[in-house]
């Protein structure tokens, strides 16, 4: 661990190995909420890492920029790690200001970030990321921006107020449930907190294997299909706080998992991380039954927003989702000439 004092701001900047527990403290009071941005969230799937930590004048953590190696080792680039969704971001306590980021990114410790480092996808309106961008520019960094999609959300409060689902949708769901019941014994499994076990991860992986992701792609977009994908989430679930935030709704027929949703509850917001169903049962609408069950549970639990991630093939809109905010992928480059050379490549979507 290396430490540098910055004056006149009386901040302390250090580079800590890995993803220290100070991240958990910052996550609890993070400027942008996003309380899931904890040590195990960053560490899941990242073999090694470092964290640029900024402490205030009394030694309390103020800012954290966790990173891991990114791209060819020869380039020395780094990125903020974490699962693709909900997203990645830096951490900032409520008292953090752009000038604090500027001081940190102008300090000798910032050299450990490399000549370039990546943050994304991140909400374009994320308060911590906005302070970071402002501070980084003041410290002489160039920030290249790539659009990474538009997020769709469902207003659960509105659904709750007017009654959800609608009568016509409820009739359809009852028909789907009755038809699904003809296939065998229907069972719903709910997993959260201490209920997480290997069987839940394997059940979701078996669904992905028999879904279009497993049968029509190389499986890289799956979350649980392959051992290394399950290992990432197993690592995140080792944190009891994250285990309580992460939840799964699994539909089984005669003991066989046929559909699931995998979500993260962060205060009033539920993030839909993943969901899938067995392709052979698409005509039974098992995926729709599971999605609607997860939304009904979120409404019953008093949550306000279902954040369903980027893009929509039509099913999100059908459930009442609307475009809400944009995601961006940011590349921070120290050398202005290098930034000029990389700009077109990055902004065309090279990442």
Domain ranges of the chain: 2-140, 153-324
Contact 121, 74 (CB under 8 A): no
β-strand partners of 262: 248, 274
Sign of the C-alpha dihedral computed for residues 172, 173, 178 and 179 taken in this order: positive
Which phi and psi angles does 104 have, rounded to 5°?
-65, -40
pLDDT tens, residue by residue, 257-296: 999 999 999 999 999 999 999 999 999 999 999 999 999 9
2-140 folds as: Aminopeptidase (3.40.630)
pLDDT tens, residue by residue, 62-98: 999 999 998 877 688 999 998 878 889 999 999 999 9
Which phi and psi angles does 162 have, rounded to 5°?
-100, 0
Given the structure tokens 């470092």, which residue do they identify?
50
- Note whether 2-140 and 153-324 share their fold: yes
Query: CATH number of the domain at 153-324, please?
Result: 3.40.630.30
Given this model, what pLDDT does residue 109 score? 96
Which residue, 99, 104, 107, is CA-closest to 64? 104
Mean model confidence pLDDT for the chain: 93
- Quickly state the pLDDT bin for 350 (edges 50, 70, 90): low
Given this model, what pLDDT does residue 144 score? 97
Contact 88, 120 (CB under 8 A): yes
- Give the span between the Cα atoms of 176 and 109, in whole angstroms: 58
Q: Which two structure tokens, joined as six digits, stand for 260?
A: 């699931």
Return the higher-pLDDT residue of 207 and 33.
207
pLDDT tens, residue by residue, 288-338: 999 999 999 999 999 999 999 998 888 899 999 999 999 999 999 999 999
pLDDT tens, residue by residue, 151-201: 999 999 999 999 999 999 999 999 999 999 999 999 999 999 999 999 999
In sequence order, what DSSP letters do the residues of 251-305 get, joined into one string? EEETTEEEEEEEEEEETTEEEEEEEEE-GGGGGGTHHHHHHHHHHHHHHHTT--E
């Amino acid at each position: 661990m290396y430490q540098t004092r910055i004056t006149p701001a009386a901040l302390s900047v250090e580079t800590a190995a890995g993803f220290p527990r100070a991240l958990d403290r910052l996550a609890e009071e993070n400027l942008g909420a996003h309380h899931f941005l904890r040590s195990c969230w960053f560490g899941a799937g990242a073999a090694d890492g470092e964290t640029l930590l900024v402490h205030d004048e009394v030694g309390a953590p103020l800012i954290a920029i966790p990173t891991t190696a990114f791209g060819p080792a020869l380039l020395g680039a780094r990125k903020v790690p974490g699962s693709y969704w909900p997203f990645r971001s830096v951490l900032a306590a409520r008292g953090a200001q752009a000038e604090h980021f500027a001081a940190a990114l102008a300090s000798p410790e910032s050299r450990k970030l490399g000549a370039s480092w990546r943050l994304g996808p991140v909400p374009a309106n994320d308060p911590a990321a906005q302070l970071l961008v402002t501070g980084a520019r003041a410290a002489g960094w160039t920030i290249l921006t790539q659009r990474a999609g538009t997020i769709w959300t469902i207003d659960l409060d509105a659904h709750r107020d007017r009654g959800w689902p609608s009568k016509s949708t409820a009739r359809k769901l009852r028909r789907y449930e009755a038809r699904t019941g003809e296939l065998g014994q229907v069972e719903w499994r709910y997993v959260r907190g201490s209920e997480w076990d290997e069987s839940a991860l394997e059940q979701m992986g078996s669904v992905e294997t028999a879904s279009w992701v497993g049968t029509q792609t190389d499986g890289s977009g799956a979350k649980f299909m392959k051992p290394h994908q399950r290992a990432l989430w197993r690592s995140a679930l080792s944190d009891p706080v994250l285990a309580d935030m992460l939840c799964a709704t699994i539909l089984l027929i005669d003991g066989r998992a046929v559909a699931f949703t995998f979500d993260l509850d962060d205060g009033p917001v539920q993030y839909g991380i993943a969901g899938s169903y067995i392709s052979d049962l698409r005509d039974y609408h098992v995926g729709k039954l599971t999605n609607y069950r997860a939304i009904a549970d979120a409404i019953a639990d008093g949550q306000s927003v279902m954040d369903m991630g980027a893009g929509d093939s039509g099913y999100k809109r059908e459930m009442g989702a609307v475009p809400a905010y944009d995601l961006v992928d940011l590349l921070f480059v120290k050398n202005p000439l290098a930034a000029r050379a990389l700009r077109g490549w990055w902004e065309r979507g090279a990442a």
